[in-house]
Structure 1
Amino acid sequence: MAKRTRKKTARDLDQYKRREANKYENPIPSREFIVEKLAELAAPMKMAALAEELDLSTEEDLEALRRRLNAMERDGQLVRNRRGGFCLVNSKDLIAGRVIGHSNGFGFLKPDEGGGDLFLSPRQMRVLLHDDRAVVRVVGVDNRGRKEAAVVEVLERGNHQVVGRLYLEHGLGFVVPDNKRIQQKIVVPSDDLKNAGHGQMVVAEIVEQPTKRTQPIGRIVEVLGEHMAPGMETDVAIRTHELPVEWPGAVESEISHLGKKVPEKAKKGRVDLRDLALVTIDGADARDFDDAVYCEAKPNGWRLLVCIADVSSYVMPGSALDKEARERGNSVYFPDRVIPMLPEVLSNGLCSLNPEIDRLCMVCDLYISKEGNIARSRFYEAVMRSHARLTYNEVADMLIEGDPELCKKHADLLPHLHELYTLYDVLHTSRSVRGAIDFDTTETRILFNDEHKVERIVPLERNDAHRIIEECMLAANVAAARLLLRKKLPALYRNHEGPKAEKLLNLKEFLGELALKLPGGEKPQTKDYADLLESVKGRPDAHLIQTVLLRSLSQAVYSAENQGHFGLAFPAYAHFTSPIRRYPDLIVHRAIKHLLISGTAEDFTYTQHDLQGLGEHCSSTERRADEATRDVASWLKCEYMMDKIGDLFDGIITSVTSFGIFVELDEIYVDGLVHITALNHDYYHFDPVGHRLTGERSGRIFRLGDSMRVQVAAVNLDDRKIDFVLDTDATPSADKPRRSRRRSRKKTSATVSEKPVSQKKQEKAKKKMAKKRVQKKDKTKKV
C-alpha cells in the first residue's frame, strides 16, 4: 500500500520555523513569511483571509496572528486600510519613519528604511509631535526641491509627557515645552493644574494627542519648581527627553539576588586569565571599568588581549533587565550625574573590572603584525583579575615622563605597558597609512562650586595614554565586525557614510575659492580627506578648512546592514568594547557567543528585521542622550554668562548663517550669536558656499574661523541663547566705495539693511502709501 504524503502547511514553508519554534511554544508563521505572502498576493488582506492563507484556524493561532499583525503595524511593516485590510509599507507608495520637529513649526520624516528625509509642512505637523512615528505618502515637491509628504497614519506617539514652563491666563494653563522641537503648547484645564504657579517648571502628561483641529491637552503631574533652582537644568532635560531614571519593580526583583562576587560555578568552562597582567586604563573620575588590556611582543609582531566585561552573562534576552537596558539604549553622562544603562550593582559592581577581583569577561585575542595589521583574531569567554586600576595621566607619566615613583610602584607592569606603547606607535602609523581622518576638536568639562553653580569651563586634554586605549578598542571592534561578516550572522554595525552629493558639491566650491582641491572625484575616499587636512597644517585658515570638511560628513548610526565606517577608513566596524554603557555592544556580544556554540542565522535570537529596528532605536537613544546633554550644557553656559553682560571677550566664528554669525569665546568655550541686525551701517550678503557674510559698501567679510572681539549683549535662559554685539572700538571703518542699494537687494534675499530709519521718515512713508491707496481707489471708481 502506497505511503500517504502529508500536505505541506505554511509552517513547513517558513524558512524561519526553527527560530519561531525556539521562541514560542505554539509558533505561527514568522514576520518574514507574512511579508512574503502579502507581497505574493499583491492586495490588501483582512485578518480572516490572511489566516486562511497561512493555514491558521484554532483560536490560539488566530489570537497569536492578531498580536503579530498589530506588532507589525506598530513597527511600520504593515498599515491597515479603512476596510481593515493589511497592506505592505513600501518605499514607493507608503513610507514609515520617525518625525523630527523643527523650532519653526515644520518637520521632517526620517524613513525607517533609509533614504532622504521628507518635508512635513506646519499644516501636516498639526497632528504630530517631535519623535512620533508615522506612515506618510509623497504628495509633491516644495519650492526648495524637497519631497513633501502627507500623513496617512500615526503609528506611535513619542511623547507621553512634556516638561516646560507653565503660563496662566484667565484660569487656563498653557505649558510651553522646553524642547523647542515641539512647537505646540499643551493646554491644561484649570482642574488639572495641581496648584502649580505661573512661571514654574512643570511636567504635563498628555491626555489627548493633537488633531487637525485641536491642540494637545494635558494635566500637571509634577511641579519641578522655580526654573533657576540648582540642578533644575538636568531635571528638566531628563523629563524633556523622557530619559528613564527609576528602575521598574521587575528589574529590582531580578537583581535582588546578585552579590559582589562572581559565583564559582559561573567561572567554570572559561579560559583562566587571572595570572595575566591585565590592567584597566581610564579617567581619574571613572567608576565603571568595562575594558582591560594586555600586550606582549611576538616574533612577527604583538599579541594584544582586549578583555571586555561579560554583561551578556547577567542580562538575559527578554528579561525585565534586558527590556529596560534596551529602552535606555545607553548611559547618559551629565555634568553633575550619570543615568546608567544598567543598575549600579552591575555597572559599578559585578560587571566592572575592578582591581584584584575575579570578573567574567569576553576576550578579543589579537595577533598584530609589525605593520599594524590584524593577522588573526579569536574570541572566547574567560575569567580575569585586573592587576591595577590605572589612570590616563599615570600611564602618560610613566611612559612619557618616566615618573620614578610610579615606575617603581608598577615595576611588574611596566614592560607590558612599554609594549603597549610600542604597539600604539605602529597602529597609529597604520592609521595614517590607511587614511583615517583625525579631526582636532576640543571637548569641555563644566566644573561646579559648592553651591552647584558653574565655576569655570575647562578643555579636556588628551594624551598618548588616551590614544593607546583608543587604538586597542578600534582593533577589537574591527575584529568583531569581521567575524560577524565572515559568519554571515545578523548583527548591528556602526556605519558612517561618506559625504552626500550636495554637501560634496558645496565643499568643492568652497575649497576652490581657497585654491584647494579634494581628490577622489565624485566619490572621494577617507584618505583624500586626510591628505587634504595634512596639506593645510600650518595655514592660518586650517581650522576653517577642518570645520567645513567635518560638516560635509554624515552622522554615524547603527544598522543591520554593513556600510563601513568612512571616518575611520574601515570596511566594517561594530561596537564591542562598551556593553556596560551601550546596548548595541551587548547585542554584538550575544551574536559572538551564539557563534561560539556553533549557532547559525536560522536559530539566532534576532532576525535581520529585528536588528534593523534595534539599530534605529539605538541611534535614536544616542541622539536623545546627545540632545539632553547639549541642552544641559547650553543652560549651564547661559547661567554662567548671566553676570557677564557688558563684558568684552575675544572669540572665533564657528558658524555663519543668513541671520548672523555664531562666535565661540576663547578660553571659556561659550558660544553666542551676533545677529545680522547688530552688524551696523551696512547691507550684508550671505554666501553659504564660502561660509561668509560680506558687507556691500564696506566690503567687510565675516567668515568661518575668523577671530573677533565681541561684547555680551543679552542672555536668555529659557531659549538657551546668548546674544553678542561687535566691540565698537574694534570695528574698522568702511574701506570700499558704496554700491547701488537697489541692485544689491535684487541679488539675494539674505541682504539686510542695518541703517536705522528715523521715526519721521517712517511716518512720512506711511502717509505716502496711504495717499497712493486713496488715489488708486478713486481711479477704480472712475473706471
Structure 2
Amino acid sequence: MSNRTASATSQTSFYGRLIGHRDGFGFVRPDAGGNDVFISPKEMLKAMHGDRVSARVVGTDRRGRPEAVILEVVEHANRNLVGRLVNERGILLVVPEDQRIKHDVIVAPIDTMGAEPGQVVSIEIVDPPTRYTPPVGRVVEVLGGVDDPGMEVEIAVRKFDVPHEFSDEAQALAKKLPDEVRPKDLKDRVDLRDVPFMTIDGEDARDFDDAVYAEPVAGKGWRLLVAIADVSHYVQSGDALDRDAYSRSTSVYFPRRVLPMLPEKLSNGLCSLNPHVDRLALVCDMVVTTAGEVRAYQFYDTVICSAQRLTYTRAWAAMCDPLSEDARHLGPLAQTLGHLEEVFRVLLAAREARGAIDFDSVETYMQFDANGRIEKIVPRVRNDAHRLIEECMLAANTCAADILKRAKRHGLYRVHEGPTPERLRALREFLKVQGLKLEGGDEPAPGDYARLAKEIRARPDSRLIQTLLLRSMQQAIYTPENVGHFGLSYEAYAHFTSPIRRYPDLLVHRVIKTIIHNKGHYLPPYGDTGLDDPMHRWRNIGDHCSGAERRADEASRDVEAWLKCQYMKSRIGEQLRGTVTGIAPFGLFITLDALYVEGMIHVSELGAEYFQHNEVLHELRGERTGRRFRLYDSLVVQVARVDLDARRIEFQLVPSMIRATRASRPAEREPDFYALPQEEESESEMPPWLAEALAAHPSSRKKPSKKNRDKKALAPAEKIHKEKRSKKSAKQKVKGSPAEKPKSGRSAKTARQPAGRAGSARKSRRGKGTR
C-alpha cells in the first residue's frame, strides 16, 4: 500500500467527493489527497455521484483496495438533473442521462409540468435518496423529444452542469455598453489605427481575439506586434459580467453551436477585432531576432483598426503563391503577410532548437446537412497559416509569463509538468523491448522526447509509440506556481491571447495592467476560503478554471458521440475497414478509417474460444488458435448495433476476417507492436474511451421489456447475429467447448466468451417497464 493510500485510510473517518461509475459502484476521492477509496453498489444507494460525503474504511475489496462505507452526506451536489420521463407500472420516473447516477427519480403526476413519457426533462431534487428510499423530484423544464434538433446540446449542458444562460444582471450590464469605441475610451492609449493589422482565423470564426503585424527592423530582425482584445476595459473585476465569465471560465464549442464565455454583444461585437472598425487592444510589441529569440518586448494599451480578415485557407494560398488571386486580393497587405511568414520561419526553427515536442495528430470536423444531421466527417487540414498564428501567440504568451515572473506578481501560469517517475519507468521498459531509448536519465528534457518522436516517425508502429509517449506525460493545468511547460519547452508560460473565450487570459490581462500602470497587486474576488493568503486564493481559481476546461471538453465529447451514433444508425449492416486503436480485456476499440468514428468489438464476437489480454504486448490472444489482435491492426468490421443512450457503437468481425486472422497471424510469430504497461488507475479516473467500453461487458448488457423491444426493435444485422450466436452456443454445449469448461487455474486476465448475452444477471434501468 502506498504512503498516500495509507494516510487516507488510517483515520477512523474522512471526507471526500463521491464519484459514481456507470456499473453501479463508486469511489470517494479524499479531500486530504491520496488514492480513491472503493464504495460498493449497495453503499452507493445512500448518495449520488458528486455528493460530498463522510466515509469510513471498513476493509478491502476483491482487488485489495481499501473499501469504505458512507456515514453521511455532507453536501448534495445534484440539485438539478436532466433525464427522460418514463412511466413504469403507473409510477412516473426520471432516468438520469448521466449514467454515473444510478438512482431513478420519482416524480408526482402534479409535478411534471405537462411532460409526456419519453420526453427529456430537467428536474429539481426535492428529497435526496437514502439507503431505503429513492430520490424524489419535480420537473422544472420540459426540453422536448429526444430526437428534436439540438437536443444533444441541451442534454449535455445540463448533464455536465455547464452554465448556459447569462444572469439578468449580466445581460442588463451588457446592454448598457456602447456598440462602438467612444472618444473617451481612447484616453492614455497608443493610437495604432494606421498600422495594417490582420486577423487570420477559421472560416466559421466569429470572435476575433487577436490581430498580428510584422515589419523588418535594423539589425536583421523583425518587429512583431500581437494585438489582443482588451476585454478587461469593458468587464470589470467582480461585476455581473465578470461573475458569469468566471462561472463559465471558457467558451464551449459544440458542432454547430457555441456557448460563449461573454454575451455576444462583447464576444462577437465590441471586443472582437473585426475588420475596418476601431477596437481597444492590449498589445505585446516584440523584437524578434534572426535566431528566433525575443530580444525585447513591451505591453501597452492601444486602439487599432484591423485592415483585413483572412481565413487560414486564403492566407496559406497567398503564402504558397505570391502571384495567386488571394495574394493579389491582399494588395499592399501581401507584404505584411510576407513579413509575418519570415518571423514564423525563425520562430519555428527556434522551437525545434529548444526541443519542443511536436506530435503528429489528426483533427476532424463534422459537415452537416440541412436537417442538422452529419453528412460526413472529414480531417481538418492544418497548414503553415495555422502554425504562423500559433507561433505568434506562443511568443506573446511567453512574454506575458515573463513579465509576471519578473515583476513577482501573482497570476495564473499554464503549467505542463514532465512525466512522473512511475510513468517514466514503465515507458523506458516498453522502449527497451522495442530497441529504442529515451535519453535524459531520471529527468528527460523535452528535447529528449522530441528527438525520439522524430526518430520513430518512419516506423510502421510510430502511432503506437507516439501514443505511449503522450500517455507518459501529465495534463496541463492553471496554477500560480510556475514550474514551466514541458511540452513546449518553456521555463515560463501563460495564457494571454484569448481573453474573449478563456477566463485565465482575462486575469493575466488585469495583472499585466497593474504592472504597466504601476498599480498594486491584483487579487480576484473569487476563491476566498477565509485564509489571508493570496496564493491560496489563486490556487483555488486555477483549480476552478482547470475544472471548467475539463467540463467543457467532456460536454463537447458527449455531443460529438451523440451525433456520431445518429450518423451510424443508417449504416447498420455495412461492412467497413477500421483500425484497432484500443485493447481491453473485454474487447477491441476500432476507429473506422474512412468515417473517423470509434466503436467496439466485444470479446465474445472474436471467436468461440478464450482470449487472454496481455497488457505488456497490448494484445488479445486466443488460447486455442493463437489468433492475435493488436493495436493498429487493420480489420474489416460490420456495424452491428448503435446505442444512443450509452453513446456506444458496436461492431462485429465479418466472417472472412475471423478465418483470415489465424492464417495471417500464426501463434509462433513474434509480435510487431508492444504496449506500455500503464500504472493501475482507479475506475473513477478512467479515460472516456475506457469508461464507455465498460458498458459493453455482458454484465451491463440491457434487457428491454417486451414493450420496449417493440419500441426499439433490433436492427436486422443484429437479429441475424444473435441467431447465429444462439446456434453457436447450442453447438458448444453439445461439444463441451472451452467456453463451457474453463481450465482450472486460468489467469484472472483471461476473457471468457459467454454462450449468450440474454442471461445477463444485471438488468439495465432503462430496460424496465415501458422504457
> What is the match of residue 644 of structure 1?
571
Identity over the aligned pairs, expressed in percent? 48
Q: How far 1:91 sits from its partner (Å)?
A: 13
* Corresponding residue to 1:200 among 111, 116, 119: 119
Contact map agreement 1:397 1:403 (CA 8 A) in 2: no
- Do the aligned partners of residues 539 and 270 (structure 1) sit closer, same or farther apart at CA in structure 2, a change above 3 Å counting? same
> What is the match of residue 81 of structure 2?
162
Contact map agreement 1:175 1:188 (CA 8 A) in 2: yes
* Corresponding residue to 2:306 among 367, 386, 391: 386
* Corresponding residue to 1:347 among 249, 259, 267: 267
3-state SS of 1:746 partner: coil
Contact map agreement 2:228 2:497 (CA 8 A) in 1: yes
* Corresponding residue to 2:384 among 444, 464, 469: 464
Q: Unaligned 5+ residue runs, structure 1?
A: 1-88, 763-783
Amino acid at match of 2:108: P
Q: Distance in 2 between matches of 1:375 and 1:149?
A: 57
User: Higher RCO, 1 or 2 (CA under 8 Å, sep at least 6)?
Assistant: 2
* Corresponding residue to 1:244 among 156, 163, 180: 163
* Corresponding residue to 1:315 among 235, 256, 268: 235
> What is the match of residue 430 of structure 1?
350
Q: Distance in 1 between matches of 2:33 and 2:392?
A: 32
Q: Distance in 1 between matches of 2:163 and 2:416?
A: 28
> What is the match of residue 711 of structure 1?
638
Q: Distance in 2 between matches of 1:227 and 1:273?
A: 52
Q: How far 1:117 sits from its partner (Å)?
A: 4.8
Contact map agreement 2:638 2:653 (CA 8 A) in 1: yes
Q: How far 1:570 sits from its partner (Å)?
A: 1.7
Q: How far 1:434 sits from its partner (Å)?
A: 1.8
Contact map agreement 2:604 2:754 (CA 8 A) in 1: no
Provide the aligned C-alpha RMSD in A: 3.0
1:692 and 2:692 are equivalent in the alignment: no
> What is the match of residue 723 of structure 1?
650
> What is the match of residue 676 of structure 1?
603
1:291 and 2:210 are equivalent in the alignment: yes
> What is the match of residue 780 of structure 1?
none
Moved more, 260-269 or 198-207: 198-207
* Corresponding residue to 1:446 among 366, 389, 400: 366
- Do the aligned partners of residues 218 and 355 (structure 1) sit closer, same or farther apart at CA in structure 2, a change above 3 Å counting? same
Moved more, 135-144 or 370-379: 135-144
Moved more, 184-193 or 587-596: 184-193
> What is the match of residue 748 of structure 2?
749
Q: How far 1:95 sits from its partner (Å)?
A: 7.1
Contact map agreement 1:496 1:566 (CA 8 A) in 2: yes
Amino acid at match of 2:748: S
Q: How far 1:682 sits from its partner (Å)?
A: 2.5
* Corresponding residue to 2:94 among 167, 170, 175: 175
Contact map agreement 1:292 1:386 (CA 8 A) in 2: yes
Moved more, 604-613 or 225-234: 604-613
Contact map agreement 1:490 1:611 (CA 8 A) in 2: yes
1:38-95 per-position Cα deviation (integer Å, ceiling 9, x unaligned): xxxxxxxxxxxxxxxxxxxxxxxxxxxxxxxxxxxxxxxxxxxxxxxxxxx9999997
Q: How does 1:470-485 map to 2 (within 5 A)?
A: 470-485=390-405
Q: How does 1:281-680 map to 2 (within 5 A)?
A: 281-298=200-217, 299-601=219-521, 607-680=534-607
Moved more, 592-601 or 447-456: 592-601
Moved more, 237-246 or 641-650: 237-246
Q: Distance in 1 between matches of 2:657 and 2:9?
A: 58
Contact map agreement 2:610 2:738 (CA 8 A) in 1: no
Q: How far 1:125 sits from its partner (Å)?
A: 4.1
- Do the aligned partners of residues 501 and 411 (structure 1) sit closer, same or farther apart at CA in structure 2, a change above 3 Å counting? same
Moved more, 623-632 or 123-132: 123-132
1:299-327 per-position Cα deviation (integer Å, ceiling 9, x unaligned): 14222111110001111111111111111
> What is the match of residue 277 of structure 1?
196
1:351-398 per-position Cα deviation (integer Å, ceiling 9, x unaligned): 000111111111112222222222222211111111111111111011
Q: Distance in 2 between matches of 1:394 and 1:168?
A: 55
Q: How far 1:713 sits from its partner (Å)?
A: 0.8
3-state SS of 2:176 partner: coil
- Do the aligned partners of residues 303 and 716 (structure 1) sit closer, same or farther apart at CA in structure 2, a change above 3 Å counting? same
Q: How does 1:134-149 map to 2 (within 5 A)?
A: 144=63
Q: Distance in 1 between matches of 2:556 and 2:323?
A: 37
Between structure 1 and structure 2, the one with the greater Rg is 1
Amino acid at match of 1:751: T
1:194-235 per-position Cα deviation (integer Å, ceiling 9, x unaligned): 333332222111122334444332112222222122222112
Contact map agreement 1:488 1:601 (CA 8 A) in 2: no
Q: How far 1:109 sits from its partner (Å)?
A: 4.9
Q: Distance in 1 between matches of 2:96 and 2:563?
A: 19
Q: Distance in 1 between matches of 2:371 and 2:202?
A: 25
- Do the aligned partners of residues 247 and 570 (structure 1) sit closer, same or farther apart at CA in structure 2, a change above 3 Å counting? same
TM-score by length of 1: 0.80
Q: Distance in 2 between matches of 1:311 and 1:436?
A: 31
Q: Distance in 2 between matches of 1:136 and 1:370?
A: 61
Q: How does 1:71-220 map to 2 (within 5 A)?
A: 98-109=17-28, 117=36, 119-122=38-41, 125-133=44-52, 144=63, 156-220=75-139
3-state SS of 1:570 partner: coil
- Do the aligned partners of residues 451 and 604 (structure 1) sit closer, same or farther apart at CA in structure 2, a change above 3 Å counting? closer
Q: How far 1:582 sits from its partner (Å)?
A: 0.7
> What is the match of residue 151 of structure 2?
232
Contact map agreement 2:610 2:753 (CA 8 A) in 1: yes
Q: Distance in 2 between matches of 1:134 and 1:601?
A: 37
3-state SS of 1:663 partner: strand
- Do the aligned partners of residues 604 and 686 (structure 1) sit closer, same or farther apart at CA in structure 2, a change above 3 Å counting? closer
3-state SS of 2:85 partner: strand
- Do the aligned partners of residues 351 and 750 (structure 1) sit closer, same or farther apart at CA in structure 2, a change above 3 Å counting? same
Q: Unaligned 5+ residue runs, structure 2?
A: 1-7, 527-533, 669-736, 760-771
- Do the aligned partners of residues 725 and 276 (structure 1) sit closer, same or farther apart at CA in structure 2, a change above 3 Å counting? same
- Do the aligned partners of residues 225 and 755 (structure 1) sit closer, same or farther apart at CA in structure 2, a change above 3 Å counting? closer
Contact map agreement 2:193 2:278 (CA 8 A) in 1: yes
Contact map agreement 2:282 2:300 (CA 8 A) in 1: yes
Moved more, 456-465 or 208-217: 208-217
